Structure 1
Amino acid sequence: MIRVGSSFVRSNGQCNYLVRLFATQFPLGKFRTRDMTEVLEQYRHEYGEIYKMPGMFEKPDMALVFDPKDFEAIYRTEGVWPVRPGLDTVTHYRKKVRPDIFFSGGLGIEQGKEWAEFRTAVNPVMMQPKIVKLYVPQIDKFMDDFMVRMKKIRDPSTYELPENFEDELNRWSLEAICIIALDTRLGIMGNLDKNSKEHEFIAAVKSFFYLLTVLDLKPSMWKVFPTADFKEMMRVLDVITNFSYHHVDEAKKRLESKTNMQSEKEQSVLEKLIKINPKVATVMATDMVVAGVDTTSSAVTSVVYNLAKNPDKQELLRNELRKILPEKDSPLTPQNMSNLPYLRACIKEAMRILPVVNGNFRETGKDLVLRGYRIPKGTQVLLQSAFTQVDDKLYTNAKKFIPERWLKNQESELSKETKSVSPFTFLPFGFGPRMCIGRRFAELEIEVFVSKLVRNFYIEWDRPDLKFKTAAINIPDGKLQFKIKDVEN
């Protein structure tokens, strides 16, 4: 092995390796039309279970790892203040462009002591199950409204949802997260004016995730000079920030004008955050709204699609749901949602096969040796778990949707196999101190959506297999024209 400074490369063909890897990234390179996931998989095939992506245009070198044992080594040594890089454009925007709003960069971009102080402040609000349970009735009622909307927009003869159903789903996820983060309903179901702030916001969020890939994951010269994509990112972030700040400010005024203050036990997420610090509330609520649109709708799409493709599993789930929802319009409650093992197994299995994200970013917390390579402390690493999650060497029929493999009270061979696989193989919400802080709220939204949909409709998919494409997160690459037929009872 040849070591150059703090980098690591193979001794055979070092120069050719770097040149070829560099060249394929540009618009005229061989991967110019390939999805990012396909590119990384091809590199894996060519260079192995660990390889270096050379830094360029003021970006550092990055190691990509594909082995769960390496994931564990990195997570176990990240320290009490893990560093998660990868959002340089957002850091620039919040620190340089809009410090008037962002006294803190928030959990996504702060590091070290600043990150720890912010996380410590919001953890008691964001991570407590009892606070999440307060939102079950509201999200349940909203899902009932959305199902009425779905019946209205489906084709009356084919029962197929319209070509623009992904837009409808994005509106649902925006409205749902605003119920939680902003204490309000936006009222955006139905035909949305293309000139409205809500339509502009949803479009901006979509552009945001695409531009993150272009500017922060792929080679870009924006740190050298402001490219067109960089200027568009600054515009998009302005749209997102102004929308979120406006609604946070309105929510704060609304809460301050309340004459009957609720008990602390019944206070909303936003009320509790404002009580901690109004500035913290603004940043946290903004991040919740931004992170809660495309991510949740993509997760829901993954689960619904897998159930549509596997009607036998869908019926097993429906039978479980009938026990707690005897009527189609029976409400979900924190109590009856406490025992839904098959629902959670279906969601977990869908997230394994079609995940929302391909992996996680970290900086190594200490010097490591991975697969014979020396990885110095502070090296940026991308843990590519999406590939290990569908590895036949780890899971039998790895690409097949089999929720039963996650049922803990079963002693089937698949269940035993899953228990023996390293938990670091599959971490949909990350690991350790920097795991997703919105996990419990995301799970609530997904569980309510899937439960009410399956209890009320037979879901079918008669079109070619749905593909996903990578735009920082994985999003559907095709029209979501599911068929939904009414369940008798």
Structure 2
Amino acid sequence: MLASCAWGLAARQARAPLWSRARSTVSIALQEITALQDSTTASREAKPFTEVPGPKGLPIIGNSWRFLPVVGHYDIQKLDKIMWQLYRDFGKVVRVGGLLGHPDLLFVFDADLVEQIFRREEHMPHRPSMPSLHNYKHVLRKDFFGDTPGVIGVHGQKWHDFRVQVQQVVLQPAVARQYISPLNDIANDFMDRIDLLRDSNSELPGAFLGELYKWALESIGRVALDSRLGCLGADIRPESEQQRIIDAMKGFFENVSVVELRSPFWRLVATPSWKKYINALDTFRELCMERINAAVERLDGKKEHEGSSLLERVLDRTGDPKIAATMALDLLLVGIDTTSVSLASTLNMLARNPEKQDILYEELKQAMPDPSQPTTESVLNEMPFLRACVKETLRMYPVIIGNGRSLTSDAEIGGYQVPKGTHVIFPHYVLSNIPEYFPRPSEFLPERWLKSSTDKCPVHQGKIHPFASLPFSFGRRTCLGKRFAYFELHILLSKIFRKYKVEYHYGDIHYTIHPTYIPESPLKFKLIEREE
């Protein structure tokens, strides 16, 4: 997640063993040769790209009209339904071409093909995403980010250099594990807040997702900034730093879907949504820098040791506070919406499936005989069914319903010649809900994921395809905050379901694209306190 200054990268390379650098160079060369061979084979045997099935476009305007208001029938905020329609109408490989100002899209509804594409992935994969954030980092605030733009909305050499700088720190299991205790404390504070939020009918407010945003912000803030932000207080003053952070994140999420999913008029003129979007990012960045600068002063002269925080390790490795700041910004931008929605969806699925909730409760009683005991690493290891519940939820309702790659070389995909520059889309939401990969996909069956009890799952007889459900993506662009996200979710969920029986009495919860896949129905969960 972070681009390095030249001396930092040179120092790291100098410390790396010669054989390791040589092996990396050979590996990159072999990947390039394989891609060239694939391209050559494709040109001889595969069908032309124009023969890929898909919706036919009109002269001049192509398929762009389908996304227009009134006359079009592709509502981008219903992208989940569009993906299902494409799959049902055209099959496993679908081309949507003729999009004005945008490369052709190739939707791949086949887990084997998704695996093939990931396995042949280039050394520096290009993921088409968030042009608004790319513009913010590379154009509007280039004076701040410079050569350290991070990993979100960034591609190529700068992305690679930045990720190399931080991934060896962020992806270490030992680093993630040391945050279990502070995340447990934050979860305890949020449980106190839940008690205050329940009404006389023991129901949470319809706007409970906003409260989950505060919990997620406090959690990832502790990880990324090495300090508590104070977002869970019962009475936060409007002018306080905490409220300004909350308001900035709220402004970002409210406007990102407008600038990303609707007509990009912001490229031509500063629209009201664009101005709010930029103001939110500026405020958030400035407040983060205040925290980072305070951390740098606090850690001045300290050397990395076994218990060093994530921030300490990045600062020690790079010597550049701006790299640490950019890492924190990226973690916060992608680590709030995702964990909040994942937790809300898991509450929903377990409320709708009380028999599964009963199984989970029995597991939690065994792992946590005392409901007030801390959720430690050893306790978390005693909760395989809880982990399976989260995995099954993210299969049915992935927060990111699809991602993809912009091909940097010609490729053969599904028997077709696919030219360089095509945006290949991996529609995870559809893939993980196809009976071919998940029998009885509409049923909530956490047992699918229990490795030691395949015989207990009523539908799965074999191994789950590893590329049919990828909530955190895969490969070189896999989510850097994956371990932290799972710890956050498992800790808070264990506390909620150990203390409460969760119900929901307002019908099905509906989802929308925002641009993540979020519930739009009121989250008025009823929490009934357990007797033991």
Whether these two folds match at TM > 0.5 is yes
SS in structure 2 of the partner of residue 424 of structure 1: coil
Q: What amino acid is the match of 1:405?
A: R
Which residue matches 2:313?
A: 272
Which residue matches 1:3?
A: none
Q: What amino acid is the match of 2:191?
A: M
Q: CA deviation at 1:210?
A: 5.4
Q: CA deviation at 1:162?
A: 1.8
Q: CA deviation at 1:247?
A: 2.4
Counterparts of 1:2-17 in structure 2, within 5 Å, are 8=50, 14-16=56-58
The one of 43, 59, 66 aligned to 1:24 = 66
Which residue matches 1:101?
A: 144
Q: What amino acid is the match of 2:178?
A: L
Q: CA deviation at 1:195?
A: 5.0
Q: Render the CA deviation track for 1:38-60: whole Å, top value 9, x for unaligned.
A: 23333444444333334655332
Consecutive unaligned residues of structure 2, counting only runs of 5 or more, are: 1-47
CA RMSD of aligned residues (A): 2.6
Q: What amino acid is the match of 1:119?
A: R
Q: Render the CA deviation track for 1:292-324: whole Å, top value 9, x for unaligned.
A: 111110011111111111111112112112222
Q: Render the CA deviation track for 1:425-471: whole Å, top value 9, x for unaligned.
A: 11111111110011000111001011111111111111111112111
Q: Does 1:399 align with 2:420?
A: no
Which residue matches 2:252?
A: 208
Is 441-450 or 220-229 further displaced after alignment?
A: 220-229
Q: Does 1:141 align with 2:185?
A: yes
Residue 331 to residue 283, structure 1, CA distance change in 2 (3 Å): same
Q: Contact (CA 8 Å) 1:300, 1:446: kept in 2 or not?
A: yes
Q: CA deviation at 1:200?
A: 4.5
Is 471-480 or 108-117 further displaced after alignment?
A: 108-117
Is 343-352 or 417-426 further displaced after alignment?
A: 417-426
Q: CA deviation at 1:371?
A: 3.2
Q: CA deviation at 1:367?
A: 2.4
Q: What amino acid is the match of 1:152?
A: L
SS in structure 2 of the partner of residue 16 of structure 1: coil
Structure-1 separation of matches of 2:81 and 2:54:
25
Counterparts of 1:116-131 in structure 2, within 5 Å, are 116-131=160-175
Q: Contact (CA 8 Å) 2:304, 2:312: kept in 1 or not?
A: no
Structure-2 separation of matches of 1:70 and 1:369:
10
Consecutive unaligned residues of structure 1, counting only runs of 5 or more, are: 1-5
Which residue matches 2:376?
A: 333
Q: Contact (CA 8 Å) 2:339, 2:489: kept in 1 or not?
A: yes
SS in structure 2 of the partner of residue 417 of structure 1: coil
Q: What amino acid is the match of 1:230?
A: W
The one of 423, 438, 441 aligned to 2:484 = 441
Q: Contact (CA 8 Å) 2:106, 2:425: kept in 1 or not?
A: yes
Q: CA deviation at 1:92?
A: 1.1
Q: Contact (CA 8 Å) 2:62, 2:98: kept in 1 or not?
A: no
Structure-2 separation of matches of 1:80 and 1:412:
40
Which residue matches 2:289?
A: 245
Q: CA deviation at 1:228?
A: 4.2
Structure-2 separation of matches of 1:210 and 1:44:
30
Q: What amino acid is the match of 2:367?
A: I
Which residue matches 1:177?
A: 220
Residue 32 to residue 398, structure 1, CA distance change in 2 (3 Å): closer
SS in structure 2 of the partner of residue 24 of structure 1: helix
Residue 121 to residue 34, structure 1, CA distance change in 2 (3 Å): closer
Q: Percent identity?
A: 31
Which residue matches 2:274?
A: 230
Structure-2 separation of matches of 1:453 and 1:211:
31
Structure-2 separation of matches of 1:408 and 1:148:
35
Q: Contact (CA 8 Å) 1:407, 1:415: kept in 2 or not?
A: no
Residue 405 to residue 325, structure 1, CA distance change in 2 (3 Å): same
Which residue matches 1:373?
A: 416
SS in structure 1 of the partner of residue 443 of structure 2: coil
Residue 17 to residue 78, structure 1, CA distance change in 2 (3 Å): farther
